[in-house]
Structure 1
Amino acid sequence: MIRWLRPFARAVTYTRWLHLFVAVVWPAMWLFIDEAWWAPAGAAVVLGLSGLIPAMRTVEGFQARLLLLGRRDGEAPVIVTGPARTWGDRGRTVLWLETRLLLGAVVSQLTFQLPLITLDLVRAALGGRPDSGGWLPVTGHHWWYAALAPVPLLLLPAVVLAGGELITRVALRLLGPSPAERLAALEERTEQLLERNRIARELHDSIGHALTVAVVQAGAARAAGDPEFTGRALAAIEDTGRAALEDLERVLGVLREEERPVSGRPTLVDAGRLLESARASGAEVDAELSGPLETVPGPVSREGYRMLQESLTNVLRHAGSVPVRVRVAADDARLLLEVRNPLPGEIPGPGRGSGVRGSGLRGIRERAALLGGRARTGPDGPDWQVHVELPVG
């Protein structure tokens, strides 16, 4: 019993009821002018023509969201509040207005007529004259009319619930997004997911590189026991940490301000900072930078910087202080990025793994594929290599 009464404790039940009553205000005004049959018919025609106005879809969408959806309004844009952009949207708006008018007229009339029928049944059961003007004429005087009197009142809540549920389903169908709007929303959602994925990679590369340098430098300083070396190690940790904080602040700024342009991201022109950081961590970096790196398109140059950063981070994390050969070359057609270091098995002293674990290398390959290029990572003779080719045209 409680389950059946639960809908009547929700405010949306009564706002839907109100929504249906509002639908008949326009024809009711015409009935005050003239009670002839053409009055409600004229109101319906004028109302339908108003649905061809693009802004009408906005008005009806806001009203339907407010009165029909209740708390579900914030969950998903199931009812559009924008203007009609196509004739198909206008046609659906016209159909919505006429359907709402018809269903509103039925529910509002039943709301008034059902209590009147109950009143006539009670009067007839008590020997009085039914004169309330209800739809259902009550004739005669019978005591058992008293048993039928509660039936119309019991039907009234069912009419309220059924009418509210039906008009909500119609609204979701006729005021919901069109196929073009669904496609636009899907594209926007895809862009958001791609941006989040890019930001996750940015944080992985930047913070991962900073932590790797800090761990390597701290371990080397402790093992060396030399105050001068320790000072250099702490300076390298400070510089790397400061750069990582700058990257973190920039990414958080983008997350806070959706309209903020993505700017200030490092490019291959800033590759010297990465090379010096790797050298400060003990790696013997032999770098060869050639070609007009400053003319490489922004997206390619920024992603190339991150690929180089991830490659050097993997060297420090998995191979340690080893000789590293870096080659970055650009021309009018492509950007070449190559990082090679000896495999741990070929390095004197303890190795630190093969560098094949983690998501960094997979991220390099994914970045290259998104830019229309290709990336190879893995053993190449005695070396471990990261070889990336990206188109710049």
Structure 2
Amino acid sequence: MALGAAVGCLSVLVPAAVFDLLLHPAPEVFGLRLPEHRGIRWYPLAAPPLLFALGWLIVWAGRLQLAMAVRLLGPSPAERLAAAELRAERLLERNRLARELHDSIGHALTVTVIQAGAARVVDDPEFVARALEVIEETGRQAMEDLERTLVLLRETRDGVGADGAPGSADAVATERPGLDQVPALLDTARSAGSPVEAWIEVPTAHLPGVRSREGYRIVQEGVTNALKYAPGEPITVRIALHDGLLELRCANALVPAAARATPRRGGKGLRGIRERAALLGGEASAGAESGQRVLAVRMPLRSGA
């Protein structure tokens, strides 16, 4: 305020002084009478520098006021840190929602396309009926997953749950499928025409909920990739505990690129798996191994393990 008042006063006084320098024979500037030098009126020559100085003073005073306002009236370092943490949290939430949609809807569409294509080719009423049943069940499960994701999306947008109560995302998360639902997932893959061998050596009832849910999504993504890029080929799944680590392994025959029904592209699913594993303190790898494409994930049962 003091700087603004000073600049305002100078903005009035300097133009008045320039007017006196240009028009009065014996001007006074700020109350001081200016002498002549050997009868020469040099005062008008001082008018342009004064106006130029006033212009620069106004510009730099404005910049200084802006800097002072940001420093004195802007958010504190703690508030800026809190805002950055909130932005990061919202970004993580959006990424989680994107992964949920990719995993659940992507799996449902893959199974639906495979079943519909097989039902169109195979001339067997019993097989067609079974395919339609799988398509119906898969679509119903996808609709439930989509509804859960939309609830989370509304909570993320509004800051409260769909029922108006904060924290309902936790209740929604507990409804997501866990590793105990893997047998049903594998039955869907078998119905799509891919032989599946599974070894589930984990007491799923004693697993932490978040690891069970994320483990299910990881296995689902592995099975979906096998159905999409190697349809009809055998799939092996192994879920076990070893030295306090939850180990997930999904393998399928390595099909040459020229023989694939669907070319590989994107890699969003594998990136999502790595993100899931990293958030839980684990690691994920995917690649060719002994003629198979293997997805392997290891993550601790407890945070910080």
For the aligned pair, the TM-score class normalised by the smaller chain equals 0.7 to 0.9
Q: Deviations over 1:96-143 (max 9, x none)?
A: xxxxx3x22421321332244356457735x9x97xxx7353558999
**SS of alignment partner, residue 329 of structure 1:** strand
* Structure 2 counterpart of 1:334, one-letter code: L
| Matching of residue 197 in structure 1 with residue 197 in structure 2 | no
Aligned CA RMSD, in angstroms, stands at 3.8
* Structure 1 counterpart of 2:188, one-letter code: S
* Structure 2: unaligned runs, 5 residues or longer: 161-166
The residue that corresponds to 1:320 in the other structure is 231
Pair 1:213–1:138, CA change in 2 (3 A): farther
Structure 1 position 175, deviation (Å): 4.7
- Percent identity of equivalent pairs: 48
Maintained 8 Å contact 2:228/2:262: no
* Structure 1: unaligned runs, 5 residues or longer: 1-22, 24-100
Pair 1:136–1:203, CA change in 2 (3 A): farther
- How many equivalent residue pairs? 284
2 CA distance for matches of 1:253 and 1:145? 77
The residue that corresponds to 1:298 in the other structure is 209
Pair 1:236–1:136, CA change in 2 (3 A): farther
Q: Deviations over 1:139-195 (max 9, x none)?
A: 589998788778867765554433222211333345555655555444444333333
| Matching of residue 104 in structure 1 with residue 4 in structure 2 | yes
Pair 1:374–1:139, CA change in 2 (3 A): closer
Which of 351, 359, 370 is residue 279 of structure 2 equivalent to?
370
The residue that corresponds to 1:239 in the other structure is 137
**SS of alignment partner, residue 216 of structure 1:** helix
**SS of alignment partner, residue 250 of structure 1:** helix
The residue that corresponds to 1:162 in the other structure is 60
Maintained 8 Å contact 1:291/1:331: no
Q: Deviations over 1:79-101 (max 9, x none)?
A: xxxxxxxxxxxxxxxxxxxxxx3
**SS of alignment partner, residue 251 of structure 2:** strand
Structure 2 length normalisation: TM-score?
0.73
Structure 1 position 221, deviation (Å): 1.0
Q: Deviations over 1:244-295 (max 9, x none)?
A: 3333343344344322443333322333442232233222333343433133
**SS of alignment partner, residue 372 of structure 1:** coil
Structure 1 position 311, deviation (Å): 0.6
The residue that corresponds to 2:107 in the other structure is 209
Structure 1 position 314, deviation (Å): 1.1
Pair 1:210–1:145, CA change in 2 (3 A): same
* Structure 2 counterpart of 1:194, one-letter code: L
The residue that corresponds to 2:30 in the other structure is 135
The residue that corresponds to 1:113 in the other structure is 13
Maintained 8 Å contact 1:267/1:302: yes
* Structure 2 counterpart of 1:218, one-letter code: A
Q: How does 1:195-344 map to 2 (within 5 A)?
A: 195-258=93-156, 259-260=159-160, 261=167, 262=169, 263-264=172-173, 265-330=176-241, 333-344=244-255
* Structure 2 counterpart of 1:106, one-letter code: A
